[in-house]
Amino acid sequence: AQSVAQPEDQVNVAEGNPLTVKCTYSVSGNPYLFWYVQYPNRGLQFLLKYITGDNLVKGSYGFEAEFNKSQTSFHLKKPSALVSDSALYFCAVRDWNSGNTPLVFGKGTRLSVIA
């Protein structure tokens, strides 16, 4: 079985400060991990993914995420938050050995960046 948890429903950060949106996962094998962002009245947009290789993954809009196997985490980070980063963020996971099982999405974390 595979699952993903986003422990925070809401994250507030001041503009210019670093931001972190947390994600932990559970898979029986090796994980494929994704981050998506959803702006109001839009569909989810892909930000970045981890498949294999470097633990630090860089993605769109200056976001990056760090894969930590020992802590089973894949936290999303950005060094300096912008007001325009305010949105709903989803972490998703898939076990590489799960056949036809597609991604499992977390419940989402709402990020508010305050000017």
Q: Which residues bind other proteins (CB under 8 A)?
A: 32, 34, 36, 41-46, 49, 51, 90, 94, 96, 100-103, 105, 107-108
**How far are the Cα atoms of 1, 11, 72, 104 from residue 76, in angstroms, in the given order?**
23, 12, 13, 17
- Could you tell me the smallest distance in angstroms from the CB atom of residue 80 to other proteins? 25
- Could you tell me the smallest distance in angstroms from the CB atom of residue 71 to other proteins? 23
Of 42 and 69, nearer to other proteins (C-beta) is: 42
Category of 55 on φ-ψ map: left (φ > 0), alpha (ψ -120 to 50) or beta:
alpha
- Could you tell me the smallest distance in angstroms from the CB atom of residue 103 to other proteins? 7
